[in-house]
């Protein structure tokens, strides 16, 4: 997995390109480091690539991993989600494809979400999506929009531009003060 940080006009783009095996605890720590490095930005766009928003854990790999390593991985994911939720600037998830499991948890930790038309959420953690949780089915983008779990649904070619636009819009409303507001609702 590679993590790149690019700051343009005050908006940080953190691009996480991952393998099909899913992120390791060290990979998640690298994303946390990129968020730290983006602390002077006015907004952050977090993008996991065009096929999925942070591919899920490889269950075959989990079967070969010690329980302590599995716990450490989930702890790193928890820390990342917490860091995103507590950022003093808005963090927008640019979801290309699906966000399932840990990717869905990370997307819901972001302050706003933009998803492609063919994308979906899986194993959604919001109480508004109990049906998806209970059935384990993938929630298509349009349904996630109706449920209020994503803010915008766009064609894949417009994903990053739309996420950036939403991030700038959120940043225009005194984001440092809004960090206190975010903390109250999370």
C-alpha to C-alpha distance for 72 and 42, rounded to whole angstroms: 31
* pTM of the predicted model as reported, rounded to 2 decimal places: 0.82
C-alpha to C-alpha distance for 29 and 36, rounded to whole angstroms: 11
Residue 156 above 80 pLDDT?
yes
C-alpha to C-alpha distance for 132 and 122, rounded to whole angstroms: 7
Q: Which residues contact 167 (CB under 8 A, 6 or more apart)?
A: 11, 43, 44, 45, 90, 91, 92, 112
Q: Which residues contact 174 (CB under 8 A, 6 or more apart)?
A: none
Residue 78 above 80 pLDDT?
yes
What digits encode the pLDDT tens for the residues 12-36? 999 988 766 667 777 888 999 999 9
Q: Which fold has domain 2-185?
A: 2-enoyl-CoA Hydratase; Chain A, domain 1 (3.90.226)
| Residue 88's pLDDT band (cuts 50, 70, 90) | confident
Give the start-to-end residue ranges of the domains of the chain.
2-185
H or E stretch at 146:
helix 141-146
Question: What does pLDDT average to over the chain?
Answer: 83
| Residue 165's pLDDT band (cuts 50, 70, 90) | very high
Q: Which residues contact 15 (CB under 8 A, 6 or more apart)?
A: 3, 4, 6, 47, 49
pLDDT at residue number 79: 94
């Amino acid at each position: 997995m590679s993590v790149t940080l690019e700051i343009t006009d005050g908006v940080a783009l953190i691009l996480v390109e991952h393998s099909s095996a899913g992120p390791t605890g060290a990979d998640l720590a690298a994303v946390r480091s990129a968020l730290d490095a983006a602390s002077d930005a006015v907004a952050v766009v977090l993008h996991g690539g065009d096929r999925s928003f942070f591919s899920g854990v490889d269950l075959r790999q989990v079967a070969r991993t010690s329980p302590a390593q599995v716990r450490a991985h989930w702890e790193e994911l928890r820390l990342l989600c917490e860091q995103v939720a507590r950022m003093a600037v808005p963090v927008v998830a640019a979801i290309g494809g699906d966000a399932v499991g840990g990717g869905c948890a990370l997307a819901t930790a972001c302050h706003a979400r933009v998803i492609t038309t063919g994308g979906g959420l899986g194993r959604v953690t919001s109480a508004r999506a109990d049906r998806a949780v209970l059935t384990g089915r993938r929630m298509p983008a349009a349904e996630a929009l109706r449920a209020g779990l994503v803010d915008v649904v766009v064609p894949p070619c417009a994903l990053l531009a739309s996420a950036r636009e939403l991030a700038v819009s959120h940043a225009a409303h005194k984001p440092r003060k809004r960090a206190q507001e975010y903390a109250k609702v999370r």
